[in-house]
Structure 1
């Protein structure tokens, strides 16, 4: 991985960024710095610019004004970040293992690392199945493993669990939380869910309606290891953080 951490360079630096689509100002201006290893969650009402900000960080779009840097340099699509979308976007003619091997090959890494990635996301028992033969939750696990295969220092996730049922969503939240802790990778996660934001994030940023601006930037000082998900959600601090973020989302400044 790049040595941004050792050099003290922010994983992501967004400076005075605004973005337009024609006459519509979708985002900003805003400033945001993400240190290496942080799990940042962007939350806000639909249309507030969360996904736009993620695309700018991924390098899929350039800001109308301002600068975006990842690891100290302008982002290049597919080079600086692993990506997980709402739909898994897998290759249906390949097996689960074949999708991971292809991602490793594309990243210039040995394909024998596929087994370790499959174990990491709990898919070792379905490696030889086609992707259309597994559940939606399992498909999203493949997408996460594929993003990890790229071995990028930054992981960007755009509402990856939004289309899943509540039970599967909770299980994948737990899995992602464990993977994030184990890898120490910088992650930026987009969601509408306040509970998901508090459960996953080490920091939560709430955006206002269009044009999206930061109305709350809140660290989440909750334990990440040595506690069960149920016990975590039962903590008084968890309830207090959820209430504060929920109020910001619902308030006049952050509701649609």
Structure 2
């Protein structure tokens, strides 16, 4: 990847399933180090766009390029899904060590412990997956995704199934991990508050077929401020209001629920 290449470049992309166009046309460039959040109503194509970036699907029209090349599934990006998708017969540490081994990296206990410490799980490496909570399982999934030094992290509604308190805690953890690693991230969510809290940039998609209706930089402090303080800022409330209005307006176009 040359210094001139963006982390992700989406050009004239459309994607259809049979006669139904799910996304497009979309043009979007994601610079290195950005935390981009895609937000919109159900069925607007957010997850489809993420799968195209991951290389799991190919666009019907247009091109998707990551780090200057067409994306290859399983390479170049760490991925976190809505469900953790862990191996239940392995321990927490074993799940992380497996990700390291697949990447050809050292999977010793010190490397595993470092990754689990990053996501606040330094003391559960020996436990089985079914012995930890849903929130802890999702942290393991994040640790596994950042185990390999891929420049890109893709997250598809990873906190959607969690209770509100666990979700907020993991948002804080992810914000800290993102700041520490400096990786480019693309995060899909329905939540406007989550988008403003996490993103350095938020893109709102219209109802199907998903198109960009708002592309907004989030100019808020990224460090040195407590989450409650951040959410209490007038600028935070203004951004949440602007993005929420755009999401609701786009959803109303076809009667889609947010």
Q: TM-score, normalised by structure 1?
A: 0.97
Task: Quote the offset at 1:139 in angstroms.
Answer: 0.1
Task: Quote the offset at 1:17 in angstroms.
Answer: 0.2
2:201 to 191, 196, 203: 203
Question: Partners of 1:252 and 1:180 in 2: how far apart?
Answer: 29
Deviations 1:125-173 (A, max 9, x none): 1110001100000000000000001221000000000000000000000
Aligned to 2:48: 52
Task: Quote the offset at 1:252 in angstroms.
Answer: 4.5
Question: Partners of 2:209 and 2:30 in 1: how far apart?
Answer: 21
Question: Partners of 2:241 and 2:96 in 1: how far apart?
Answer: 39
Aligned to 1:15: 11
User: Secondary structure of 2:59's partner?
Assistant: coil
Closer, same or farther: CA 30–136 of 1 in aligned 2, 3 Å? same
Aligned to 2:189: 191
Give 5+ residue unaligned stretches, structure 2: none
How many residues are matched? 252
Question: Partners of 1:7 and 1:166 in 2: how far apart?
Answer: 40
Question: Partners of 2:45 and 2:12 in 1: how far apart?
Answer: 15
Question: Partners of 1:122 and 1:80 in 2: how far apart?
Answer: 25
Question: Partners of 2:252 and 2:135 in 1: how far apart?
Answer: 30
User: Secondary structure of 1:111's partner?
Assistant: coil
Question: Partners of 1:8 and 1:187 in 2: how far apart?
Answer: 18
**Are the counterparts in 1 of residues 47 and 156 from structure 2 also a CA contact under 8 Å?**
yes
Aligned to 2:160: 162
Deviations 1:199-244 (A, max 9, x none): 0000000000100000000000000100000000000000000000
| Structure 1 residues 87-166: aligned runs within 5 Å | 87-112=83-108, 113-166=111-164
* TM-align CA RMSD: 0.9
2:218 to 199, 217, 220: 220
Runs (4+) of structure 1 exceeding 4 A deviation are: 252-255
Aligned to 2:237: 239
User: Secondary structure of 2:180's partner?
Assistant: helix
**Are the counterparts in 2 of residues 84 and 143 from structure 1 also a CA contact under 8 Å?**
yes
User: Secondary structure of 2:146's partner?
Assistant: helix
Task: Quote the offset at 1:253 in angstroms.
Answer: 6.2
Question: Partners of 2:26 and 2:116 in 1: how far apart?
Answer: 38
1:37 to 33, 39, 42: 33
Task: Quote the offset at 1:254 in angstroms.
Answer: 6.3
Give 5+ residue unaligned stretches, structure 1: none
Question: Partners of 1:175 and 1:198 in 2: how far apart?
Answer: 15
Deviations 1:56-96 (A, max 9, x none): 00000000000000001000000010000000000000000
1:25 to 17, 21, 25: 21
Question: Partners of 2:175 and 2:49 in 1: how far apart?
Answer: 22
